[in-house]
Amino acid sequence: MKNECQLIIIGGGPAGLTAGIYAARGRLSTLLIEKGLAGGQIMNAELVENFPGFPQGISGLELGQSMHQQAVKFGMETLMAEVTGIEVKGERKVVKTSEGDFIARAAIIASGSERHKLGVPGEDDLTGKGVSYCATCDGAFFRDRTVAVVGGGDAALTEAIHLVRFASRVIVIHRRDQLRATRILQEKAFAEPKMEFRWNSVVKAIEGNNSVRQIRLRQVKTGEESTLKVDGIFISVGFTPNTGYLKGVLPLDESGHIITNDRMETGIPGIFAAGDIRHNSGRQAITAAGDGASAAIYAERFINK
């Protein structure tokens, strides 16, 4: 693999893979760098029902793999490595990775985000021992048990709906008195007899020795504290953008997302951003794919101008 090409794409989720398809079809020498499996967060989705072209739905794993295969077919190369920084040297963008430095005329940052933690006592100690951030990954371990899901958005309800296939009881804990999830997910959740809700509640601690045994809750309106016996807790309270390596390099908003214009251009010519890592992203696979296509189109124009 050459260490110099025309375009480097950082991140292999729907945004990065779509950018790879467009860039490779444009006959740009393109390298995609991904620290894990190509596909990104969507790989954790058992069934994706809202990606156009799949009326019966498609598994996140299959969708991610298919997008990667499509980009590779057109000539995109893939490197499994962790990106640690970016330097701008004239018209060259130097992407520093765990496998060495790689150089390109332009770069598209599509490295996505990671799930927020609650930051409460017991969370780190019991991760993998009843604390999880992925129902698709760990749901089957809780067959006929009681589990809690923390959060009220699309991701949280998707996790909860998946868990009712295994658990005997799924308790959704939300800090507000109404959900933020889309209506169709709310309808599915409220119609599920094995699911119940604890409104206006936050988790104060997760307790257990070698496994989760209970969680401590606080009612946000009254301040009253209580305990809830559970065998597992799935945390889905938002995401943190993977931009730690970009501080001081690119303009970021207060939450660490990259600020772009409608061409996906950042504050540095030749560096673009796409997908969940971008300020005001729609946080959907299809919007990420649209971002990736736009970023690749304008990156190609930048390179060829």
Catalytic residues: 134, 137-138
DSSP string, the chain: --SEEEEEEE--SHHHHHHHHHHHHTT--EEEEESS-TTGGGGG-S-B-SSTT-TT-B-HHHHHHHHHHHHHHTT-EEEE--EEEEEEETTEEEEEETTEEEEEEEEEE---EEEPP---TTTTTTBTTTEES-HHHHGGGGTTSEEEEE--SHHHHHHHHHHTTT-SEEEEE-SSSS--S-HHHHHHHHT-TTEEEETTEEEEEEE-SSS--EEEEEETTT--EEEEE-SEEEE-S-EEES-GGGTTTS-B-TTSPBP--TT-B-SSTTEEE-GGGBTT---SHHHHHHHHHHHHHHHHHHHH-
Long-range CB contacts (< 8 A, 24+ apart) of 244-248? 245/83, 245/84, 245/85, 245/86, 246/86, 246/109
